[in-house]
Structure 1
Amino acid sequence: MKTELYTKAQIDEAAKQIQLGELVSFPTETVYGLGADATNDTAVQKVYQAKGRPSDNPLIVHVADVATVEKYAEPLSDAAKKLIKQFWPGPLTLIFNLKPDALSTHVTGGLTTAAFRMPNNQATLDLIKTAGIPLVGPSANTSGKPSPTLAEHVYHDLNGKIAGILDDGATQLGVESTVLDMSTEVPTVLRPGAVSIEQLEAIIGNVVSNKHHVGLKEVPKAPGMKYKHYAPNAQVYIVDQPSEFPEALKWAGQQPFLVGLMVTDELAANLTLPANVELYSLGTDVNSASHLLFAALRHFDENPQVKAILTEAFKPEGIGAAYMNRLDKSAGQRHFGDDR
C-alpha cells in the first residue's frame, strides 16, 4: 500500500484510516508509535505483522482521557489516581488489572492486565479524540531495531506496510516511557524512562525498580523485557569509563571496517580518532544523549560498512537509567573488554 505523510491539518484523514482498521504512525513526546484501533482485533494483528513483532509481546494502549482507562480497567487505586494527576499526559505508562474480556488477547499478550498511557503530544491526543477509540501504539519500527524519533525513521522501516504517518517533527525525549506495574502488591518498574524512580516514590512511596527482564518462557507484562531491542546491524559495545576509550579506539583502529563512535562533546574533544572511526555527537550530557541515542544508532545502521559501535556509558540514575536500559539492550549486554 502507499504510505501517506499526514500533517497536523490532516488529522481527520488519519483518524479515518484508523477507523477503517488501518495502521497510522503517530508522534509522542518519547518516540513515534504505530497506531491501530485497540478494539479491532484484525487491526491489532496488523501491527504485529507490520513490525515483525512476537505475538506474546504486549502492546501499550494510548488514550486521550482517564474515562477510557476506567472503561476497560478494574477500579483505579488512589495511588494510580495520584500518578495520573501528576504525570499524565506524559511519559508514564501504567499497567492495570482488566475487567473480564475487556480487551483482545492480541493487545494484552494473553495476560489479564494491560498497559495504558496518555501521551503528551497534542496532535496525537487530537487523533485519538477524532478517531473516538483508544490506540495501541508500540514503537513504529521494525521489531528489535532502534525506535523512531522522526517521521523519516518510520518511513524508512514501514513504508508500504502502513497507511500513513502523522508527522510532528522530532520527538522531545527520544526514549520510551517509564512502565510501572500497578497490578502488583508493590508497584514495580518494568521499564525505566523519563519519569524516574525518585519522582514516582515522591508521589506513592516505595516501588520495586529491578524487574526489567523476564526469562525466555515467561510472558512479558511490558514491551522490551524479553527480546533483543533497539539493535542496529553493527555490534554495539558499551565503554564503561572515559579512561577506557583510548584502548577502545586503539582496538577500533586495528579493525578492517568502519567503527562508529557515540560520545558527548566534552569526551570527544579529548580523544584522537583513527581514520576508520566516525563520530556521532551525543551532545553535552546524559539528557541530550538520551534524546539522540536512537537517532545515532539509526545513523550508523544506514552505513553497512560500520560493523561495530563504541558508546559512552552514564550512571544509571534519573534519565541515565532509561539511557543505560536501552543501550544495554541494543548492545546485547556487551561491554568493551568483555571478550578481549
Structure 2
Amino acid sequence: MSTSSTSLDQALALLRAGELVGIPTETVYGLAADAGNPEAIAKIFAAKGRPADHPVIVHIAGAEQLPDWATDIPAAAWQLAEAFWPGPLTLILPRKASTPLAVTGGQDSVGVRAPAHPLTHELLKQFRGGLAAPSANQFGHVSPTTAQHVRDEFDTATLQLVLDGGPCEVGVESTIVSLIGAPKLLRPGGVPREAIETLLGIELEHHQSASSAKIRASGLLDSHYSPRTPLLTGPLAVLRAEAVERSDAGQKVLLLSFAGTAPQGVSAAVLPDDPEQFARDIYATLRHYDRKGFAALLLESPPQTPAWLAVNDRLRRAAHQRL
C-alpha cells in the first residue's frame, strides 16, 4: 500500500469543497463526504441511490471527537471506545443538536465510529471533522473491499478520487451497538459480540431488523449486500440437487462450497473454512463471479456458530433465496 501525500492533500481539498472521496477502512471501502455539510451528504445519497431516511455512519479520528456529534454519552460508550477504537465498531448514541439530520436519516440518534485503517485515520486527523461514509457501492449491492471495486461502481464525474489502501483486512462492515436504552446489537461485524458482552458484563439484545430495534441503522434492511446474479444459500445436499436440476435445464450455475466440488457439468469454487478469511474474501468472491455470466450462484451456508455470526448475517440479507 502506498498513497502519496499529494493524494491525501487532494482528498482533503475535495472533502472541504463538499465533494465525494472513496476511502479505505479495515471493514469495507467508504464513499466519504463532510458529515457537517448537508449538501455534501446529499451527494452520497444521490450517487448511491440510497433512501434519504437511511442513516449513514459518521467516521471520526478518535473518541475525543464523540461530543462533537453525540450528547448524553453513557459510560458504556467510553468503555467500548477505549477498548475497540480505532476499529470496526459503530456506536449509536443520541444526536447532538448540531449534527445534520441528513446524516441520521431524520432520527435523533447518530452512528459514530473511528476506523482503524492508517490512511483514513490520518485523513481524519488532518480533516479535523467527521466524514459520513457508507459503503462505496450502489445501494443494496455487494460492498467494495478494494479500490478497484469502488471504481467499478462510480464514474469519474461522480467520484474524482479513490484513495487506494489495499484490500480490506476485515472484509465485512462494522459491528453496530445501540447505547440508547439497554445496549443492543444491531449488526454483527468485525468486533465479536462476545467481546462486547464480556467488557460490559451484560448479554446484548440482538435485533436483526429496524422494526424490532425501533431504530434505523446501516445494514438492517432485509435485502442488502446482494450480487446482481441470483444468490441462493442453503445446505450443501440441497444445493447440489438444485445445481443438477438447473444444469439439466441448460442453465450455467456455480456451486460455492467448503468442499469445492460439484456434480458433473456444474462449475465449482471453494470457500475458506475459517470465518475470518471467509469474511475477508466473500464480497470480492461474489463480485468476481457476478461478472461471469452465471444464471445463479449457489452458496453453501456456513455453520450457525458465534464465530460465523457476522458472515451469516450478511449472507441472509444478500441471498435472493434460501433453500
Q: Same fold (TM over 0.5)?
A: yes
Check whether the contact 2:63–2:78 (CA below 8 A) recurs between aligned residues: no
Q: Distance in 2 between matches of 1:146 and 1:329?
A: 11
Q: Distance in 2 between matches of 1:66 and 1:272?
A: 49
Three-state SS of the structure 2 residue aligned to 1:238 is strand
Alignment of 1:231-250 (within 5 A): 231-240=226-235, 242-250=236-244
1:126 to 113, 122, 125: 122
Q: Distance in 1 between matches of 2:68 and 2:285?
A: 40
Structure 1 residue runs without a partner (length 5+): 1-5
Give 1:274 shift.
3.3
Give 1:220 shift.
4.6
1:107-162 per-residue CA deviation (whole Å, 9 max, x = no partner) reads: 00000110001111010011112222210010000111000001010000012211
Structure 1 residue identity aligned to 2:150: V
| Corresponding position of 2:322 | 335
Q: Distance in 1 between matches of 2:57 and 2:203?
A: 21
| Corresponding position of 1:260 | 254
| Corresponding position of 2:103 | 107
| Corresponding position of 2:69 | 72
| Corresponding position of 1:197 | 193
Distance 1:104 1:281, change over 3 A: same
Q: Distance in 1 between matches of 2:211 and 2:76?
A: 29
| Corresponding position of 2:264 | 274
1:148-204 per-residue CA deviation (whole Å, 9 max, x = no partner) reads: 0010100000122112100011000110000000112x1001111121221111000
Structure 2 residue identity aligned to 1:248: E
| Corresponding position of 2:151 | 155
Q: Distance in 2 between matches of 1:300 and 1:110?
A: 37
Three-state SS of the structure 2 residue aligned to 1:166 is coil
Q: Distance in 2 between matches of 1:215 and 1:329?
A: 15
| Corresponding position of 2:216 | 221
2:282 to 269, 293, 306: 293
Check whether the contact 2:63–2:85 (CA below 8 A) recurs between aligned residues: no
Give 1:244 shift.
3.5
Alignment of 1:26-37 (within 5 A): 26-37=23-34
Check whether the contact 1:262–1:312 (CA below 8 A) recurs between aligned residues: yes
Check whether the contact 2:22–2:150 (CA below 8 A) recurs between aligned residues: yes
Structure 2 residue identity aligned to 1:294: Y
Q: Distance in 1 between matches of 2:46 and 2:54?
A: 13
| Corresponding position of 1:183 | 180
| Corresponding position of 1:7 | 3
| Corresponding position of 1:54 | 51
State the number of aligned residues.
Answer: 320
Calculate the aligned-residue CA RMSD, in Å.
2.0
Check whether the contact 2:176–2:187 (CA below 8 A) recurs between aligned residues: yes
Q: 291-300 or 119-128, which moves further after superposition?
A: 291-300
Three-state SS of the structure 2 residue aligned to 1:115 is strand
| Corresponding position of 1:3 | none
Give 1:81 shift.
1.2
Percent identity between the two aligned chains: 33
Distance 1:94 1:8, change over 3 A: farther
Check whether the contact 2:221–2:317 (CA below 8 A) recurs between aligned residues: no
Check whether the contact 1:34–1:137 (CA below 8 A) recurs between aligned residues: yes
TM-score, with normalisation over the residues of structure 2?
Answer: 0.93
